[in-house]
Structure 1
Amino acid sequence: MVEYSLNYDMVFQALADKTRRDIVCRTLGSDCTISELSESYHMSFAAVAKHVNVLARAQLVHKARHGREQIVQANVKTISSVAAVLVTYENMWVARFNRLDELLQE
């Protein structure tokens, strides 16, 4: 059995770029080829492919070769894992602010 390990630093670094966030959103809706993705941006095919590679290294998308094209698909497992981490942080900060409100009201 393969253990699923995720480098959150790589994930958040990959998501720091607006284009990469958009690519993840587009591939959540449906699988896309890199050619299809590159039509949506004012950059070269190679530049979009580099963005996809960053996302793939961060495990945010999967790439699969289909003939001459590479199909890009969002990795829902990673996105769910990241969402769970963010909810944990949100809960922590909400609890801290609630405690601060309580202290200020005393």
Structure 2
Amino acid sequence: MNPRFYDDIAEFYKVAYPFLLEHEAENNLPLAILISLKKNIEIYGEEKPLLFSLSDAKNVKLIAIRTPPHDLIISYADDLSTIEVLTEELTMRNENCQGVKF
């Protein structure tokens, strides 16, 4: 698995948007947040958002977005082991995610 955190919203959008559209109904909240961030990165506040993707050799498997002080939003995932990888990555970065929404 290839975990990645992004600083550039345009780069993240290119990865996240097509993946989120594959299960549009389940991913309506992260899609709306992603589109809003692309228009204005500070729309939810000045603190930098957390932008995360997890991919295997061929496909994106999971997207996570957090706009502080709000909870972490996790996309639909058909492989629940991706959640474990996400939590390990967040722990290594000492990210403070008190709440999570699926």
Greater Cα radius of gyration, structure 1 or 2: 1
Tell me if TM exceeds 0.5: no
TM-score, normalization: structure 1? 0.28
TM-score, normalization: structure 2? 0.28
| Higher helix proportion (structure 1 or 2) | 1
